[in-house]
Amino acid sequence: MAVAIWLLATTPAHALETDQFFAWGKPIEDSTDYLDAWVRYQFETTLGPGRKEDPGDCEAAVDLIQKRLQHSIYQPIEIWVTSTELVDRVPKSVEENREYHDSYLLSKTFPLDWARIVQPSPTLQVNEIRFGSDKLAHFFSAGWWYYHWWRKNGSGKEDEGLQQVLAQFGFQLEKWIHGMFLTGVVSPADMEANLQGFVFYHRLCHGDEPYLSRVDGEWRLSLEYTIADFVSPAWDESWNPNIYGRKRWKGIRNT
């Protein structure tokens, strides 16, 4: 148990598995606008008027915003999602959370299973797609580590080669603290969220229409950004993973 606690304290982590069967038959309101607003708030407070630092270029701006979007243990967006009244989710009430914790897919493992340490993720909805809030943690955290790795190792590779090496890199992450080591599961849905997180970070400064641009001396997030562009049925743990990684890959070049 002490080893598990040490690992959770020293490794980028997310909430554990979600159990979307618990949400079956229960209505969930769409949270796209609230999630987008939260992300925009992080950009504005980090890069807008009154900022503590003035990044010299786009990549420096990304490094600053990354510190707001990605932390070492629990990820800011998932903490917010599970505590705010704005984002509808299942479970949401204290009673539902208690029932969920006592009945979700990891609740019946052996008593000292360290996977029980972390609260399971609720289900929310974006653009009629349901997924666990842990996918947002994967998106902003593991997506950053993909991008960080790409800047050091993969920026000279073409699309197909880059996709292959990122998939291999992501699988190694998912085998350990992000997945199999704690839960016994390598999740294609987690890996898809990771990959789309990479696409998000990459698009901040690269491509034909980067999300970040400098206006009147300030870095601003494009109005074109929305989390709905990255969420797909592949984020659903029950979705067929056979076409993993294909969505929205086109367009990433050596930029």
Asked whether residue 89 carries a pLDDT value surpassing 90, the answer given is: yes
- 131 forms beta bridges with 124
Please report where in the chains the tokens 């690269």 appear, as a residue: 206
Per-residue confidence band for 17, with pLDDT thresholds at 50, 70 and 90:
low
- Say if residues 87 and 81 touch (Cβ distance below 8 Å): yes
- Say if residues 54 and 135 touch (Cβ distance below 8 Å): no
175 or 74, greater pLDDT = 74
Tokens at 36, concatenated: 């987008």
Per-residue confidence band for 161, with pLDDT thresholds at 50, 70 and 90:
low
Tokens at 22, concatenated: 């618990």
Per-residue confidence band for 1, with pLDDT thresholds at 50, 70 and 90:
very low
Average pLDDT over residues 83-111: 79
104 or 136, greater pLDDT = 136
Asked whether residue 147 carries a pLDDT value surpassing 80, the answer given is: yes
- pTM tops 0.95, yes or no: no
Asked whether residue 169 carries a pLDDT value surpassing 50, the answer given is: yes
Tens of pLDDT, residues 108-124: 655 655 555 566 789 99
Angle between helices 58-69 and 32-47 (to 10 degrees): 120
Asked whether residue 96 carries a pLDDT value surpassing 80, the answer given is: yes
Average pLDDT over residues 74-84: 92
